[in-house]
């Protein structure tokens, strides 16, 4: 199966009242489905981090300060590193308000504007089937509007994200060892360590390479999301007829093994705003023998421009925080980085 080396191509607030409290009414295709409702998985996750502690560690804002905002000409209010934290007083801060037209069109995966009569989201709680709790713990709610726990972004509103507050995702990291024509594992000439490969897709919205993840549907187990997103984005399962969908069964053994939870928490994502942000569970499924994945026909799905196996290395340029997830996987498997 074809592989690719690690040199990848790049790629005004209005206060209104509702439910007896002050709300903020905000003014591309949405980057997510209906955001997630997490339940306890049937499978137990193994935890891993390079420090040996919890895999959740809030990312510093870098990509969340990207300007202009993705899919628009909206320029973020410039936020210097020392002013990102909400603990730093900054009375001059005047972020731009932006919510994408696709979100304001009221698709089923998006919340209503906070000014909508009768719309009273319960933040920091399970709100019906919408999980508004954060992996990072309790976040602040000011004037009935959630505040990004990682700090300022230079934009308010929801941007491209559907939910006020956390928008949860799941990222399946599918890996195997790189092998030569004779089936022998390939080692990096400098480190002497074996080279790991992972399945990457090229996003259509920005052209960057990424892990083939997505949003968890309401009531869906996170393990089901991981498998579904891989099949849809890397195997193009939605476009296959019933006979071709047998390909999905070939990944059953892979997704039946014990998964490794690499990261669970806030994501430094270019779509983040002061009021809406991405969180994820990045989970590794590794095919140590190569027998489970070698015969799978990778085919880009609707959201992906391309899909291929990519060599894991420190020069990988990936979407959002995906490179940091891949690094953790390489460390876990003692692979070259």
| pLDDT tens per residue across span 144-203 | 999 999 999 999 999 999 999 999 998 989 999 999 988 899 999 999 999 999 989 888
The answer to the question of residue 41 being in a domain is: no
Beta-carbon count within 10 A of 261 CB: 19
Tell whether 79 is covered by a domain. no
Residue 180's domain is classified under what CATH number? Answer: 3.90.79.10
Q: Which three-class secondary structure state does DSSP give residue 325? A: helix
pTM for the full model?
0.75
Output the pLDDT for position 19: 42
CA-to-CA distance for 92 and 228, rounded, in angstroms? Answer: 45
d(C-alpha 56, C-alpha 49), whole Å: 8
Query: Does 279 fall in a domain?
Result: yes
Residue 327 lies in a domain: yes
Q: Which residues are registered as beta bridge partners of 285?
A: 174
- 258 within some domain: yes
**Running DSSP on this structure, what letter comes out for residue 20?**
T
* CB contact set of 292 (below 8 Å; sequence gap of 6+): 250, 251, 253, 254
Q: Residue 330 in contact with residue 337, Cβ under 8 Å? A: yes
36 lies in some domain: no
- Reply yes or no on whether the pLDDT at 93 is more than 90: yes
Q: Is the peptide bond before 7 cis (omega within 30 degrees of 0)?
A: no
In a domain, residue 157? The reply is no
- Counting Cα atoms < 13 Å in the Cβ hemisphere of 329 gives 31
**Of the candidates 130, 124, 125, 281, which has an alpha carbon nearest to the alpha carbon of residue 218?**
130
pLDDT at 226: 80
**Full domain range(s) for residue 222:** 3-7+168-332
> Residue 315: CB partners within 8 Å, gap ≥ 6?
6, 7
Of the pLDDT bands very low, low, confident and very high (cuts 50, 70, 90), residue 217 is: confident
Q: What is the mean pLDDT of the chain?
A: 80
Q: Is the pLDDT of residue 2 over 80?
A: no
Q: Per-residue pLDDT for 47 more than 80?
A: no
CA dihedral of 203, 309, 224, 278, whole degrees rounded to 10: -40
Q: Is residue 284 part of a domain?
A: yes
CA gyration radius for the chain?
20
Q: Tell me: the pLDDT tens digits for 288-328?
A: 888 777 777 777 766 667 888 899 999 888 887 889 999 99
Cβ(280)–Cβ(64) below 8 Å: no
Report residue 238 as tokens: 């939605």
Q: How many domains does the chain have?
A: 1
pLDDT tens digits, residue range 140-160?
Answer: 999 999 999 999 999 999 999
What sign has the CA pseudo-torsion 231, 232, 233, 237?
Answer: positive
Residue 88 has pLDDT above 80, yes or no: yes
Q: 177 phi and psi, to 5 degrees?
A: -85, 140
């Amino acid at each position: 199966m074809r592989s690719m080396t690690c040199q990848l191509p790049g790629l005004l607030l209005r206060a209104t009242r509702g439910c007896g409290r002050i709300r903020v009414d905000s003014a591309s295709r949405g980057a997510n489905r209906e955001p997630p409702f997490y339940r306890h998985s049937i499978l137990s996750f193994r935890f891993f981090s390079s420090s040996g502690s919890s895999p959740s560690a809030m990312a510093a804002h870098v990509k969340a300060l990207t300007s202009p905002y993705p899919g628009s000409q909206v320029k973020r209010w410039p936020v210097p590193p020392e002013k990102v934290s909400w603990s730093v007083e900054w009375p001059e801060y005047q972020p731009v308000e932006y919510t994408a037209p696709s979100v304001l069109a009221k698709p089923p995966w998006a919340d209503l504007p906070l000014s909508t009569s009768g719309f009273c989201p319960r933040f920091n709680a399970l709100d019906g089937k919408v999980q508004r709790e954060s992996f990072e713990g309790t976040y602040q709610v000011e004037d009935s509007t959630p505040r990004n726990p990682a700090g300022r972004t230079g934009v308010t509103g929801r941007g491209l994200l559907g939910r006020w507050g956390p928008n949860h995702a799941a990222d399946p990291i599918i890996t195997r060892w790189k092998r030569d024509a004779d089936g022998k594992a390939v080692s990096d000439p400098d480190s002497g360590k074996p080279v790991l490969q992972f399945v990457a897709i090229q996003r259509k919205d920005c052209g960057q390479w990424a892990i083939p993840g997505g949003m968890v549907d309401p009531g869906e187990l996170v393990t089901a999301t991981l498998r579904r997103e891989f099949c849809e984005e890397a195997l193009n399962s939605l476009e296959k007829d019933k006979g071709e969908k047998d390909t999905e069964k070939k990944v059953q053994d892979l997704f039946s093994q014990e998964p490794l939870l690499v990261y669970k928490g806030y994501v430094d994502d270019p779509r983040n705003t002061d009021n809406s942000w991405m969180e994820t569970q990045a989970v590794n499924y590794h095919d140590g023998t190569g027998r489970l994945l070698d015969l799978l026909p990778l085919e880009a799905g609707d959201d992906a421009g391309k899909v291929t196996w990519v060599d894991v290395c420190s020069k990988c340029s990936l979407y959002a925080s995906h490179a940091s997830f891949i690094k953790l996987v390489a460390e876990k498997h003692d692979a070259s980085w």
